[in-house]
Structure 1
Amino acid sequence: MTHHSTAGRVKVAGLQPAQVLAGLVGLVFLALGVLGFVRTGFGDFAGDQHATLLGFALNPLHNVVHLVFGVLGLVMASTSGLARLYGWLLFLGYGLVALWGLALAGVFATNPVSGLGNPLALNTNDNWLHLGLAAVGLLIAVLPARRKLVTEPVVEQPVAERPIDERPVADQRASIRDPQAQMDPTTQEMPTQRSGVHPNDRIESMDPTVQPRPVQPVDPAVEQHRARRGH
């Protein structure tokens, strides 16, 4: 017989907060990229003197970076795992850009990227924005997932059952009293027929060379005489 039971396990349920946040950040990046190209155009691609948008300096290369992160955010928001990966990419990428901007602003004693110039046209406002974006990326990466308890049926191994004896009750009782009756008729041995002579009986054979002693006839007169003497 097969037994069915239920077992519960916890699994990720539905749309996750990390996916929602990654998708929203992606939309914001796409909007910034499109509006940035409206302000800067496509000339002087990596120049450091361009127009600003809401106080943040921009150039075409900077706009391309915004568009790339926007597309990644929308694509990787499709699953919980990809959304968390997008959070780590956002954290590492904009964390490095924020450090680059701080070095250009003279926050550090030495500027390790002085030879690279300022291809993204970064200013002080950009540095604060990029620090905030790195923090949002870290939040997406470590945001707890919503989970639920899912109950699933578990099929256990079938248990072997003893065969049901369909013989009549009288035959079953007879089998219990006589164990030989439960034997397979194909393997049962026929009972040994007993002969008239017991195996332990001693059978003496007569020697043909020995002649039997002749029997003498009895005289009736002699028998009467013996009878009188006996009395």
Structure 2
Amino acid sequence: MSQSPNRLVATVFGAVYLLVGVLGLFVAGSNFAGEEGGLLLGIFQVNHLHNIAHLLIGAALLAAGLRSTAAAKRVNVTVGAVYLLLGIVGFFLVGTALNILALNTADHILHLASAIVLLGTGLALDRSTTTRHAAA
């Protein structure tokens, strides 16, 4: 694997989100979706739908990180943008029926932190690779 920052970040975040998704399955309890969920690591609220989202996002990041720098950039930016939106909107979802992922404040902070790293890496690093692909 190339030493591309985008590939490294996608691979590491992918592996971590896959692990979080698997571990969350053990604490989510019986709730598939909705405002209630179990606590992962004692602070992150998750339900089964939330865990499935982590598994899908982790798989997408890991696959892109293992594939190519261009793929990793695209997925980092896409997932980062989704997490930025979720991190912001999530604050307004708590306490409503729209909170189907059982989000809590710790989740919002983690999603925003993930967004900063993924978007920052995807938008700022490996620019020459993207330019070469666009010109080819």
| Shared fold per TM-score greater than 0.5 | yes
1:70 to 35, 58, 61: 58
Residue 23 (1) aligns with residue 4 (2): no
CA distance in 1, matches of 2:86, 2:53: 11
Give the direction of change, closer, same or farther, for the CA distance of 1:60–1:105 in structure 2 (3 Å limit).
closer
CA distance in 2: counterparts of 1:66 and 1:27, whole angstroms? 10
1:48 aligns with 2:35: yes
Is the contact made by 2:6 and 2:122 (CA closer than 8 Å) also made in structure 1?
yes
What is the TM-score normalised by the length of structure 2? 0.83
The answer on whether the counterparts of 1:36 and 1:59 sit within 8 Å (CA) in structure 2 is yes
CA distance in 1, matches of 2:6, 2:72: 6
Q: Residue deviations 1:145-190, cap 9 Å, x none? A: 397xxxxxxxxxxxxxxxxxxxxxxxxxxxxxxxxxxxxxxxxxxx
Higher strand proportion: 1
The one-letter amino acid paired with 1:25 is F
Report matched runs for 1:25-174 at 5 Å: 25-41=13-29, 43-54=30-41, 55-77=43-65, 78-105=67-94, 117-145=98-126
Whole-Å Cα distance in 2 between the matches of residues 56 and 93 of structure 1?
Answer: 18
Give the letter for the 2:85 counterpart: L
TM-score between the two structures when normalised by the length of structure 1: 0.50
- Alpha-carbon distance in structure 2 between the residues aligned to 1:36 and 1:67: 10
In the alignment, the residues of structure 1 paired with residue 23 and residue 75 of structure 2 have an alpha-carbon distance, to the nearest angstrom, of 23
RMSD value, Cα: 1.9
3-state SS, counterpart of residue 126 of structure 2: coil
Where in structure 1 do 4 or more consecutive aligned residues deviate above 6 Å? none
CA displacement at 1:140 relative to structure 2: 2.4
Gaps spanning 5+ residues in structure 1: where? 1-13, 107-113, 148-231
Instruction: Name the count of aligned residue pairs.
Output: 125
**Percent of aligned pairs with the same residue?**
35
Which SS does the other structure have where 1:52 is aligned? Answer: strand
Letter in 1 for 2:87: A
Report if aligned partners of 1:59, 1:120 keep a CA contact under 8 Å in 2: yes
Higher helix proportion (structure 1 or 2): 2
Task: Note the residue ranges of structure 2 that are not aligned, 5 or more in a row.
Answer: 129-136
> 1:105 Cα shift?
4.8
Structure of higher CA gyration radius:
1
State the Cα distance separating 1:73 from its structure 2 match: 0.8
